[in-house]
Structure 1
Amino acid sequence: MEKLQHVTETMIYTTKKTQNNTQKMQLFHGRNISTQFKSYYINASANELMDPFIHQHRYELLINHKMKCKGKNVFLLVFIHVAPGNFAGRNLIRSTFGTISSFHNKRIVRVFVLGKTENVTIQQEIVNESKRYMDIVQGNFIDSYRNLTYKLVFSLFWVNNFCNNAKFVIKIDDDIILNIPLIIPYLAEKIKTGQTSNVLECKTITENIPVRERNNKWFITTEEYPFTKFLPYCAGHSSIMSIDVVRKMYRASKNVPYLWYAAPVLWNSLPEEFRQCSESV
């Protein structure tokens, strides 16, 4: 039985007919939940409910290297979230741990994940950079802080379509250093002990609360998130996943509502068995 079935089928909608109107109700595990989320879904337009990125995953690849993993025995795929204009950051990674494509006979593939920029000059430089290094994947969404959730789901989309033969996947931001000589033996030991599935390791945030100051970078409205505390979730800067978790997480993202805020709801859509706490990355 598919382990994420209970996740992808929890958020369903039904209608309640009254004398005056037909009211849309949100159910969770078959139970009606009365929160401020409910008012959003009741009043949302059809376009808002059918967001072309989140709900239908109509991603388009502006830049792709679809042969990056094809026909290769990929042990580890590393995808790195980086801003389009951060050319120096990408070059720094290429000249440090990004130079390692194999360690202990384990193949490592690395890609930079970018969103769209409206700066024509920067975009042309990215195209030239991609032709030179062949390590950039770019999606058709504006690359911005509040679109980081789009970026994560786009990354899962790309892995599922173009590198689903990898055994393990690591997501990092461009300010994270990956210690290859430590991480490869660590993951290889999982292979030896049969721990090749249901792996999701990250720094777990357990006591975070929503920021309500409007001028703050992490400001989130009560309409977006009405509760006083976040559920435990993975910090967005880095995580280790087995390939089956990437597949399940991507499928879950099509059916579970989530926030722009470091995707805590998306991460929490996964069962407890996937949420192992590790500071290995």
Structure 2
Amino acid sequence: MTAKRNWSNFAVSLLALFMVIAVWQVFYSPNIPVEIPRYTKSAYTLYTNTSNYVYPIDSLTEIDYNQLIDLNFTFQMNNLVCNETSPLVLVMVHTSPKNFAKRRTIRETWGRYRDKVKLLFVVGDVENSTLKRKLIEENQNYSDFTQGSFKDTYRNLTYKHVMLFKYVIYHCPEARYIMKTDDDVFVNMPTMMNFLTQELSPFGAGNLLFCNSRANSRVLRSYRSKWRVSFSEYPAKNYPTYCPGWFLLYSQNVVFNLYKEAQKSKYFWIDDIHLTGTLVKKLNLVHEDSKPYMISQDELNDVVDGGNITRPFLIGQPNLSEKQIRSLWNYVDSHSVSKNIIQ
């Protein structure tokens, strides 16, 4: 009887302890935001035959083409690279006007891939007359710029990104996928094309936002940071889940929905946060994580040192040097193309 009574007392004490812990967690634990998945499986859909998706331009305002959020807008340089063709993917590379060497590196490496691919460099306007003249000459040589009438500055990154959407909607509606990268990024284009046509679909997809997603990022308040955001600009402590903008893969309908929402939303200058965080959350879209398809820093170092990568990959690390991009292209160009990415 004594042993039975002791066991009963122990069970009651244990239950009481669990209740105390539960109450403490509710009322006294730190207010740490937790990212709760909205879906247990992928939210995008793959088309199984020729897509009949058409950008619903009629739902936009009559002045939309010459409006960029809160600016009057024109394309100052605009190459119609799609020209009524049907590229599988349109690649739009954000580049600083002065980054001549980085653009040359892309043109001579992964940007050379032209089978069902179109590529454009996205820039804003510049005040320096010498730089302006050099950009015009570069565009005359390569015909691969699209330039907006806003100044090319950090604070105008959202204008730059939304202009990208505008170009796609009005000037390349045939592209099944839209890829946005920075000019210090490597894309394994031969394997990427297999990924798009075999693991995804050559006919396109719906509700796709494929990126290196990031959750629970703190808003930077330090005056030493170029990414400092004031409380009046963004009062919350943390940003919503978003995509760092160095690599993004969009489906057509995601491009249009984000564009339409951005055109009528209050301007926020960090494009990654605003477009792929705040507006994605508002539209209840879902990020598909590209991290498994990115090479690690160790794998990157191995390639630069002449070694091998033992698994297929789609993208390199962000913020690559020109030497690293060329090393990765030399590796890709001298090895067989991976037929399957999803293992």
Same fold (TM over 0.5): yes
Match of 1:260 in 2: 269
Q: Distance in 1 between matches of 2:216 and 2:286?
A: 19
Match of 1:120 in 2: 129
* Residue among 48, 58, 76 paired with 1:62: 76
* Residue among 98, 105, 112 paired with 1:92: 105
Q: Distance in 2 between matches of 1:101 and 1:239?
A: 19
1:278 aligns with 2:287: no
Larger radius of gyration: 2
AA matched with 1:277: D
CA shift, 1:245, in A, is 1.4
1:244 aligns with 2:253: yes
Match of 1:146 in 2: 155
Asked if the contact 1:256–1:266 (Cα under 8 Å) also holds between the matched residues in 2, the reply is no
Q: Distance in 2 between matches of 1:162 and 1:262?
A: 22
Asked if the contact 1:257–1:265 (Cα under 8 Å) also holds between the matched residues in 2, the reply is no
Match of 2:93 in 1: 80
CA shift, 1:91, in A, is 0.6
Q: Distance in 2 between matches of 1:122 and 1:242?
A: 34
1:161 aligns with 2:161: no
Asked if the contact 1:200–1:245 (Cα under 8 Å) also holds between the matched residues in 2, the reply is yes
1:269 aligns with 2:279: yes
Q: Distance in 2 between matches of 1:244 and 1:61?
A: 23
CA shift, 1:244, in A, is 1.8
SS at match of 2:211: strand
SS at match of 2:68: coil
Match of 1:41 in 2: none
SS at match of 1:140: strand
AA matched with 2:288: Q
Structure 2 unmatched runs, 5+: 1-58, 60-66, 294-314, 316-343
Q: Distance in 2 between matches of 1:58 and 1:184?
A: 37
Q: Distance in 2 between matches of 1:147 and 1:53?
A: 11
TM-score normalised by length of structure 2: 0.62
> Between Structure 1 and Structure 2, how many residues are aligned?
224
Asked if the contact 2:95–2:123 (Cα under 8 Å) also holds between the matched residues in 1, the reply is yes
Q: Distance in 2 between matches of 1:195 and 1:73?
A: 11
Tell me the alpha carbon deviations over residues 185-241 of structure 1, each in whole angstroms, 9 at most, x when there is no partner.
11112116x761111111111021111111211111111011111111111111001
Match of 1:136 in 2: 145
TM-score normalised by length of structure 1: 0.75
AA matched with 1:69: C
AA matched with 1:141: F
Q: Distance in 2 between matches of 1:58 and 1:164?
A: 23
Asked if the contact 1:257–1:266 (Cα under 8 Å) also holds between the matched residues in 2, the reply is no
Structure 1 unmatched runs, 5+: 1-7, 9-51
Larger strand percent: 1
AA matched with 2:125: K
CA shift, 1:149, in A, is 0.8
Match of 1:170 in 2: 179
CA shift, 1:266, in A, is 2.3
Flag as ranges the 4+ runs of structure 1 deviating above 6 A. none
Match of 1:229 in 2: 238
Match of 1:26 in 2: none
SS at match of 1:233: coil
Q: Distance in 2 between matches of 1:89 and 1:117?
A: 18
Q: Distance in 2 between matches of 1:124 and 1:75?
A: 33
* Residue among 199, 213, 217 paired with 2:208: 199
SS at match of 1:269: helix
Structure 1 range deviating more: 252-261 or 163-172: 252-261
CA shift, 1:277, in A, is 1.9
Q: Distance in 1 between matches of 2:146 and 2:77?
A: 5
Q: RMSD between aligned alpha carbons? A: 1.8
Larger helix percent: 2
CA shift, 1:264, in A, is 1.2
1:208 aligns with 2:222: no
Q: Distance in 2 between matches of 1:58 and 1:238?
A: 28
Q: Distance in 1 between matches of 2:114 and 2:120?
A: 12
CA shift, 1:263, in A, is 3.6
